[in-house]
Structure 1
């Protein structure tokens, strides 16, 4: 995963593809996962603070996936399905609010 992130970071710097989110490209409104590619690229470029600012939920998810084989994955699956759904739904709503503020759609 680290090698892929470093490679993506390098490729992005050489040839910036622009906006990858279809919803944002068509409407200008970001989706809850907007910034996920940026998280990956910033982590690969060694800039974790910028990765967190791009999308804290995607950043946490990337770290969780990377650490899942070390034990946290088992704890996640031990939770009740309703609890997992509630946690994911809350994270997506929080992520959408973050993106709306980040892109200036909402003002705080």
Structure 2
């Protein structure tokens, strides 16, 4: 069994999130269960991932505007999911070589990019939700 690349793993996560988003409204309607943000519940401050469940459900149901307003990061995850699906299929067909391990410099760049995305998302959520901090 071959190792999957980071984008392929992220795409796999996105595919699972899409399935979950498709069935989540049925679960909440039947049980009344919800997934509150733990950080926001305890501190009143939203986390960078606040709104991702709402955004995923909206996107799966074709509501682009509400998905963007809840958390724009969902579009990056959706794009990675589609691209990684194609990538996995091409690799399985032998058209593309298996992934090579990332160098330490590539891992550092990816970590910095992920950190910048988290900060940007957190700032977006702080603006969107405007918590009363004082």
| Per-residue deviation, 1:64 | 1.2
Q: Contact 2:28/2:34 (CA < 8 Å) preserved in 1?
A: no
**Does residue 9 of the first structure (1) align with residue 2 of the second (2)?**
no
TM-score (norm: length of structure 1): 0.75
Count of paired positions: 103
Q: Distance in 2 between matches of 1:27 and 1:36?
A: 19
The range that moved more, 37-46 or 21-30, is 37-46
Identify the structure with bigger relative contact order (alpha carbons < 8 Å, sequence gap 6+).
2
TM-score (norm: length of structure 2): 0.62
Higher Rg of the two aligned structures = 2
Q: Contact 2:21/2:53 (CA < 8 Å) preserved in 1?
A: no
User: Structure 1: where are the runs of 5+ without partners?
Assistant: none
Structure 1 residues 6 and 19, CA, compared in 2 at 3 Å: closer, same or farther? closer
| Per-residue deviation, 1:16 | 4.8
**Does residue 25 of the first structure (1) align with residue 41 of the second (2)?**
yes
| Per-residue deviation, 1:38 | 0.8
RMSD of aligned C-alpha atoms? 2.8
The range that moved more, 36-45 or 9-18, is 9-18
Q: Distance in 1 between matches of 2:110 and 2:76?
A: 15
